[in-house]
Structure 1
Amino acid sequence: MSVAEPRRIVLFRHAKADWPQVNDHDRPLAERGRKDAPVAGRRLADTGIPFDLALCSTAARTRETWKLAVQEFPHRPKTVYEERIYDASPGELIALLDETPDDVRNVLLIGHNPGIQGLAEVLSGSAAADAADRMKRSGFSTAAFAVLTLDGSWKSLEPGAATLVDYWTPSE
């Protein structure tokens, strides 16, 4: 694969979590989250993006979201559970994505706000149609995802280097 071919980054926020008396990292999905995650998985599958790699936070709610969403995929991508995604800033997420091997074309990152929304905003040098407006209106709700394209290698990922081409939320 040539680095001249656009790469895709999909930023997927975990589905709605419950608030039981456990530490934040161990919070499970709420009933609504268990319903929204497969819907988001079907919508991700409908994009037709052949994901090469899924990077998922180690938090319980992100792992559960991914487990429910990926069942809707025609092909399960390689999945890496990455503790650095939990509570990461946009800069820390960019540094993590910079480590992606050059032979990987499409990455799905399953994480948390405010990092996911912040990363989408920081990376988006431009946006297609009304995707940025829809993302701004929803505040990057739970089980939502943003699709960005990047020209160049993963190491060229920096603020403003990507284009926001789509945004979806379960409330649409």
Structure 2
Amino acid sequence: MQKSKILVVLRHGEADFSFGNRTDFQRELNQNGLNQLSRIKELFEKTGVKLDKIVSSSSLRTTQTAEIIASDLPDSIIQFSDEIYEAESSILFEVISGVNDDINNLMIVGHNPGVSALVSTIADQGYLNMQPGMLVIIELAIEKWSHLGIGTGIVREVMQ
């Protein structure tokens, strides 16, 4: 029997705007973002989805987001990728396609508009505009990550 894969897509939490010498890449989560992600982590844990791997943008706000979600998991579960920083959905598809097929439950932590386009393409049910800190669980009808594409998944849950 085919075991379906789960893709969890998380947009980074709410972040402060960059001031002074700080770049967009260096933006930190603000208190609202930290609080929101703590709540999302609790809700996500209740779903029973056990993550095998997290691939996150390497920006400061996405790094903080991934570390909050994975605080009870081994450090080795997280992979940070410069490629995901402000990536379009086509790049996100490439990154996901390169994931080892032994991984069944994968989380991507990224930025808009890429993450919204990714979810909308996979679910093929109209555009879902992901807000900061929004998490979407997608059940996939694929055996290999390279088979991910238009309409290959169903949104199982949305958390914000």
Does the TM-score normalized on the shorter chain lie above 0.5?
yes
Structure 1 portions without partners, runs of 5+: 127-131
> What per-residue deviation string (whole Å, max 9, x for no partner) do you get for residues 67-87 of structure 1?
22223x4x4471100111111
One-letter code of the match for 2:151? Answer: G
Work out whether 1:151 is the aligned partner of 2:141: yes
Tell me what 2:111 maps to: 112
RMSD: 1.7
Q: Quick one: distance in 1 between partners of 2:124 and 2:17?
A: 36
> What per-residue deviation string (whole Å, max 9, x for no partner) do you get for residues 37-85 of structure 1?
11111112111101100001100001111222223x4x44711001111
Count of aligned positions: 156
- SS of 2:139's equivalent in the other structure is strand
Identity percentage over the alignment?
A: 21
Contact 1:39 1:69 in 2 (8 A): no
Q: Quick one: distance in 2 between partners of 1:125 and 1:110?
A: 20
Contact 2:57 2:82 in 1 (8 A): yes
Contact 1:54 1:110 in 2 (8 A): yes
- SS of 1:149's equivalent in the other structure is strand
Structure 2 portions without partners, runs of 5+: none
Show structure 1 runs of 4+ deviating over 3 A. Answer: none
Q: 1:12 aligns with which of 10, 19, 43?
A: 10
Work out whether 1:56 is the aligned partner of 2:56: yes
Tell me what 1:164 maps to: 155
Alignment of 1:6-155 (within 5 A): 6-21=4-19, 22-71=22-71, 73=72, 75-76=73-74, 78-125=77-124, 136=128, 139-152=129-142, 153-155=144-146
One-letter code of the match for 1:160? Answer: G
